[in-house]
A = this chain, B = another copy of it.
């Protein structure tokens, strides 16, 4: 199904949310905002921090803030940070295939991978935020709703 990892999806939501606030924000606060479970938010933020997409401030009164504006963060960079290199198959560009079987087409996928990467590079989080069908309010509402549901369900 060619699916994206859920973490990457969360990361986008979290970053957009972070971009709509000013000052440093703690991970619990972001978790409350987005409805994503706190430990997961923390984990994602750590990764984003090590990839320089967000800046962290440790200690009391610490938290996170965007390293650049939403317009300067591409979807590709978020996915790359969370999921690693963007590639459609096990044969990463020029890399060796352990399996061998799927390797018959080694070079061929490179074209596809590059095309997809270019596509994702061209879309910024700012665009994502604006194109959102539901809007920020809806996002928050949905998030809280799901958080409640999850808690009740468990």
Q: What residues of chain A have their CB less than 8 Å away from a CB belonging to chain B?
A: 1-6, 9-10, 12-13, 16, 34-36, 75, 79, 83-90, 97, 99-108, 111-112, 115-116, 119-120, 123, 127-129, 131-134, 136, 138-139, 142-143, 145-147, 149
Contacts and interface: CB of A to CB of B under 8 A. Distances in A.
Main secondary structure of the interface of A (DSSP, over half): helix
Contacts of A128: 105, 108
Query: Which of A1, A35, A104, A138 counts the most B-chain CB atoms under 10 A from its CB?
Result: A104
Given A13-B101, A13-B102, A79 B2 contact: yes
Given A79-B2, A90-B6, A111 B85 contact: no
Contacts of A107: 131-134
